[in-house]
Amino acid sequence: MSIANVDEIIIPAGEDYHTHLRHGDLMNMVVPHVRKGGICRALIMPNLTPPITTLEQVVAYKSELEGLDSSVEYLMTLYLHPSLTPEIIAGAKAVGVTGVKSYPRGVTTNSEAGIESYDVYYPIFEAMETAGLILHLHGEIPSNPDNDVCVMNAERSFLSHLEKLHAAFPKLRIILEHSTTKEAVALVKKLGPTVAATITAHHLELTVDDWAGQPHNFCKPVAKYPSDRAALRAVVKEGNPKFFLGSDSAPHDRTKKESCCGSAGVFTTPLLMPYVVTTLLEMGCTSEQIVGFTSANGRAFYDLPDLKQNITLVKESATVPQSYAYGEAGEVVPFKAGQTLAWSLRSQ
């Protein structure tokens, strides 16, 4: 249904299938903003320090999150790591784990414990197939000047690994996280129904010119060319069910972003649904396409029940805060700080 020229939209609450909630003071600030951003269900990334590799860590972290805000359903993940065993995988669902996240070593925040080869993890992937867990792929390979690999083609260079894993484990559900290229879109569409992809709010907006020299728009994988952004927008607008929202919202202190070696991550949690809905409406999306991308498609891929919670967005402009404070002196700058969004989330 077209929703042009309307002033109010009532849709299901969003479901964010990739977000970083951190720990400590930063976690205490971020978690209450998940629901305020219009999200009722969120998949939580495991790249803490140390990474979440045991079921005991999962239970403790999930308890912390629920203690801060129990109105959100937290889906937990394990970090793909040599210490994982088929026995751990077999017991994972019982403590709220829905998947395992793979980080190539050294490509992004807290990925120093990441992998260098998938082959040694085949027994884990077999156990995941049996247990019904999802494999979440950070789809980049490390930069390597000898092979002409850098941040702009790291995702394209990774895609052969996705094809190989899907061929070896056709029943294993695999998600290519935070996809950024037209080649990734084409491959996910081509592969079987057990392969899907998430797309972030910021990658629907940014290209390389928007993060070069602008540290608060810098993330991994980086935003690419206008043609890549066009491919992301097109697949969302066509309503393809294999693509859905995963914000990859990744808060870092201002000092870590505005430094000689700035941290990768864009912070979208507090205004996630207003960001996304504003963009999708500017793209001319229908209500069905908005709901598909922000909740229904991901829920179907995960085979989860509908939480039957609605949110209301109103056509009222609002200025994005310049920053969010945490702890004694911490400060996180959000996406589009100081800019105006055309749509706002009515208080719930």
- Catalytic residue, chosen from 33, 62, 81, 101, is 101
Q: Which residue has the tokens 């964010």?
A: 16
- Catalytic residue, chosen from 33, 62, 81, 138, is 138
Cβ-based neighbours of 193, under 8 Å, separated by 6 or more: 242
Known catalytic residue: 20?
A: yes
- Catalytic residue, chosen from 20, 33, 136, 220, is 20
Q: Which of 163, 161, 120 is closest to 141 using CA atoms?
A: 161
- Catalytic residue, chosen from 18, 182, 216, 257, is 18
Q: Between β-strands 174-177 and 134-138, what pairing exists: parallel, antiparallel or unpaired?
A: parallel
* Cβ atoms of residues 282 and 298 within 8 Å: no
* Cβ atoms of residues 173 and 198 within 8 Å: no
* Cβ atoms of residues 176 and 162 within 8 Å: yes
Structure token pair of residue 229 = 């952004």
Separation of first and last alpha carbons in the chain = 25
Known catalytic residue: 18?
A: yes
| Bridge partners, 243 (sequence order) | 197
Amino acid at 109: T
Q: How far apart are CA 37 and CA 52, in angstroms?
A: 25
- Catalytic residue, chosen from 136, 228, 242, 248, is 248
| C-alpha of 81 from chain center | 20
Known catalytic residue: 101?
A: yes
Amino acid at 81: H
- Catalytic residue, chosen from 178, 216, 224, 252, is 178
Report the length, in residues, of the chain.
Answer: 348
Known catalytic residue: 203?
A: no
Known catalytic residue: 178?
A: yes
Residues with catalytic roles: 18, 20, 101, 138, 178, 248
